[in-house]
């Protein structure tokens, strides 16, 4: 099987200022081509460390590097390339023309020397044109390995991987079939799920490997098959997924790798239903995740983010006596929020959240992490109380997913 290493370059990664999201994108796309990623390595903007990183990665047939190609002085990846591949920088007129066009389109007529310097490329490199930015991709071959250097700006890197790098890899290497399938579940604990599925795991075919990936109530079960025959692998995995549906039918919400927001969106679209939300503690995050899906305007009409109590009473028409007597974090309030937003925005479903995300605002009766979620549908309103944890970010995230899952359950059953 063809193996790859990913090398990301930048001091910002090593001081923890920036999270490396490029590697996951590259790894996913290599994997889909049947290329096995052996390692992901991040090193600093230092010629010595970059060369040491290239040496470590050179046991792979494909090495993809990102970062350090910008116009500023801390970007020294091209100098490291020259040293590693024993070549020198020369000005490339096609790259220069591309930079001129790009900056002209952005309203910049006169290039400065920093812009021009981005058209200096190592003499022995093949240039991969970058249509979205000024730093081109660069490709080298050495000892049967292919080394590709890409800019670190995510949208530039992504376009270059998809349009240039993957086609080159497909021509150059013939690969073994790899099939991944991810079953998404919501609402169990990892150790409990592991016990429930113990026999199933034991009896998996030898070339199908499982993994369990937990995150804020979501547990993804990933099956990976490796072999010569893709269709056979797909079939073997189909059979195992069927078995899962017999063991844990209630908690599976997708076998196609879809997120909760995609599944909910598809259900609403299929059933021609509409949705509105009324958010307190989640502060717009439910709306934000729903509208992250392209085309969500077909089923999602909007949200009232009622962060303050007077927005709850004035705009959402929640009874102010109920807020006074029971508090904003209560069943009676969250129920009215869901039902009233459904009426006000004239939708089939209304979803509401009210809780104490923290770090402050908790009391003895209602500690930080107390969250009410309500879903109002055509026939009934369901309200549930949860106790999550002490961390604001986690509480918001978990509330959003719980609300989506409660809506999903109602959509499936109604």
Q: Which is nearer to its own copies, 141 or 198 (CB)?
A: 198
370-376 sheet: strands from edge to edge? 275-279, 349-355, 370-376, 381-387
Which one of 162, 170, 292, 321 is in contact with its own copies (CB under 8 A)? 292
Of 76-84, 232-240, 310-318, 374-382, which segment contacts its own copies by CB under 8 A? 310-318
Q: Does the protein bind its own copies through residue 288 (CB under 8 A)?
A: yes
Alpha-carbon distances of 273 from 115, 166, 270, 295, 297, rounded to whole Å: 51, 40, 8, 14, 12
Separation between Cα atoms, residue 400 and residue 386, nearest integer Å: 12
Sites for its own copies among residues 105-164 (CB under 8 A)? 106, 108, 112-115, 118, 134, 153, 155
Q: Does the protein bind its own copies through residue 97 (CB under 8 A)?
A: no
Q: Which is nearer to its own copies, 138 or 221 (CB)?
A: 221
Q: Does the protein bind its own copies through residue 389 (CB under 8 A)?
A: yes
Q: Does the protein bind its own copies through residue 295 (CB under 8 A)?
A: yes
Contact by Cβ (8 Å): 217, 402:
yes
Q: Which is nearer to its own copies, 86 or 308 (CB)?
A: 308
| Sign of the Cα pseudo-torsion (333, 335, 339, 342, in order) | positive
Which x/- pattern over 242-281 shows residues binding its own copies (rule: CB under 8 A)?
Answer: -----------------------------------x-x--
Q: Does the protein bind its own copies through residue 356 (CB under 8 A)?
A: no
Q: Are strands 137-142 and 126-128 parallel, antiparallel or unpaired?
A: antiparallel
Q: How far is the CB of 413 from its own copies (least distance, A)?
A: 25
Q: Does the protein bind its own copies through residue 234 (CB under 8 A)?
A: no
Q: Which is nearer to its own copies, 312 or 408 (CB)?
A: 312
Contacts of 48 (CB under 8 A, 6+ apart): none
Separation between Cα atoms, residue 403 and residue 412, nearest integer Å: 14
Q: How far is the CB of 366 from its own copies (least distance, A)?
A: 15
Which one of 1, 90, 191, 247 is in contact with its own copies (CB under 8 A)? 191
Contact by Cβ (8 Å): 309, 326:
no
Q: Does the protein bind its own copies through residue 206 (CB under 8 A)?
A: no
Q: Which is nearer to its own copies, 106 or 272 (CB)?
A: 106
Q: Which residues of 20-36 are buried (b: 16+ CB within 10 A; e: fewer)?
A: bebbebbbebbeebbbb
């Amino acid at each position: 099987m063809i193996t790859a290493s990913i090398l990301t370059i930048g001091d910002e990664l090593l001081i923890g200022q920036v999270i490396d999201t490029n590697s996951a994108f590259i790894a996913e796309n290599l994997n889909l081509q049947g290329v096995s990623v052996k390692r992901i390595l991040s090193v600093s903007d230092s010629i010595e460390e970059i060369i040491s990183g290239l040496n470590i990665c050179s046991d792979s047939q494909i090495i993809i590097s990102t970062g350090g190609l910008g116009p500023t002085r801390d970007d020294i990846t091209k100098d490291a390339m020259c040293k590693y591949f024993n070549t020198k920088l020369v000005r490339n007129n096609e790259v220069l023309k591309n930079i001129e066009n790009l900056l002209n389109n952005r309203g910049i007529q006169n290039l400065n020397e920093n812009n021009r310097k981005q058209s200096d490329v190592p003499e022995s490199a093949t240039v991969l044109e970058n249509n979205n930015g000024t730093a081109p991709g660069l490709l080298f071959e050495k000892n049967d390995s292919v080394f590709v250097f890409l800019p670190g700006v995510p949208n530039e890197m992504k376009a270059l991987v998809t349009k240039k790098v993957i086609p080159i890899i497909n021509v150059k290497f013939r690969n073994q079939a790899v099939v991944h399938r991810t079953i998404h579940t919501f609402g169990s604990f990892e150790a409990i799920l592991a016990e429930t599925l113990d026999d199933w795991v034991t009896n998996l075919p030898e070339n199908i490997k499982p993994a369990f990936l937990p995150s804020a109530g979501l547990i993804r079960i990933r099956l990976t098959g490796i072999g010569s025959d893709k269709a056979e692998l797909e079939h073997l995995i189909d059979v195992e997924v069927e078995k899962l549906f017999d063991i844990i039918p209630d908690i599976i919400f997708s076998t196609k790798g879809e997120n909760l927001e995609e599944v909910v969106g598809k259900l609403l679209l299929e059933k021609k239903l509409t949705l509105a939300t009324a958010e307190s503690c989640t502060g717009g995050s439910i709306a934000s995740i729903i509208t992250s899906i392209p085309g969500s305007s077909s089923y999602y009409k909007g949200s009232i983010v009622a962060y303050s109590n007077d927005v709850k009473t004035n705009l959402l028409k929640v009874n102010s006596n109920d807020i006074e007597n029971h508090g904003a974090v209560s069943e009676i309030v969250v129920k009215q929020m869901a039902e009233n937003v459904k009426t006000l925005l004239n939708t089939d479903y209304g979803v509401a959240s009210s809780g104490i995300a923290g770090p402050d605002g908790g009391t003895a009766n209602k500690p930080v992490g107390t969250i009410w979620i309500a879903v109002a549908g055509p026939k009934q309103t369901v309200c549930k109380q949860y106790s999550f944890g002490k961390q604001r970010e986690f509480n918001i995230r978990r509330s959003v997913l719980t609300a989506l899952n409660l809506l999903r359950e109602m959509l499936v059953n109604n």
